[in-house]
Amino acid sequence: MERIKPIEAKDRIILALDVDTIEEVIKYVDLLKEYVGFFKVGLPLFVSCGFEAIDVIKEHGGRVYFDGKFQDIPNTTAKASINLMKKGIDFFNISSTGGSKMLTSTITECNNYAKKNNMEPPIILAVTLLSSFGQKTLTNELGIEMNISSYVLKLSQIAKEAGLSGVVAPDTDAAQIKKELGEDFIVVCPAVRPTWAIVNDQIRIVSPTDAIKAGADYIIIGRPITRAADPTAAAKLVITEIEEALKEKRNNL
């Protein structure tokens, strides 16, 4: 896990590459690899470009976080995850709502594969709830009566018990997750939008400052940087905001 531990403020940024072509991938990696920690490859880019997108990111000096949110029967999810490792992807996520058996099977099989092949074990996160979900969706559509924060914590506890390295969860739950599950349990905060950015289609959004002060280790941010008139300048603004939040957090200890 030390290999992904953030050292500088920029290391905490996972840039969502919400693009469709290899040309765009190359453009943003070359432009921003010095200003972000990881490049997130999600389903739209992966379906469009496949593993070529991942290879190109690495060839151009970037690090990859694969956002596939795998959820299937335990054997299928484990095999899919091992196939990611075979392709050189060691930082990715699966869905916490797949259940403890799926989570445990995946981490066990992946760790066994890593040991057998003299590889570093993967960093696998559990996605708790999509950032487009609110309490209304949780209760009225999924029939789950729990408070949304309590439900996120419960899913995080299941992930920790299964042996995963951390979770993808909103800033509103980061502090409680860290308190209950330990500072070493990674929290990645999605749907991050600086105050100067457009909200788009997310419901539970947060600023970089709030996410870092709440305890997030990493933030996922995409369009506010990639669609900015000057992506490099936008990335620098986010870095500055993270640095100031970290400084304020240290001063309040």
pLDDT band at 205 (very low <50, low <70, confident <90, very high): low
Residue at token pair 């330990």: 182
Q: CA-to-CA distance for 178 and 182, rounded, in angstroms?
A: 5
pLDDT digits (tens, 9 = 90+) for 132-185: 888 999 999 999 999 999 999 999 999 999 999 999 998 899 999 999 999 999
Residue range 222-234, pLDDT digits in tens: 999 999 999 999 9
Identity at 127, one-letter amino acid code: V
Per-residue pLDDT at 193: 85
Q: How confident is the model at residue 201 (pLDDT cuts 50, 70, 90)?
A: very low
Q: Greater confidence, 250 or 124? A: 124
DSSP state of 97: G
Q: Into which CATH architecture does domain 2-251 fall?
A: Alpha-Beta Barrel (3.20)
CA neighbor of 169 nearest in space, from 121, 207, 208, 220 = 220
pLDDT tens digit sequence for 17-45: 999 999 999 999 999 999 999 999 999 99
Q: Where are the beta strands (DSSP E) in the chain?
A: 13-16, 38-41, 64-70, 91-95, 123-127, 166-168, 186-189, 218-221
Beta-carbon contacts of residue 124 (< 8 Å; ≥ 6 apart): 81, 92, 93, 94, 106, 107, 110, 164, 165
How confident is the prediction for the chain on average, in pLDDT?
A: 93
Tokens of 189: 């905060």
Q: Per-residue pLDDT for 198 more than 80?
A: no
Give backbone dihedrals phi and psi of 68, rounded to 5 degrees, phi first: -105, -20
Return the active site residues.
Answer: 69
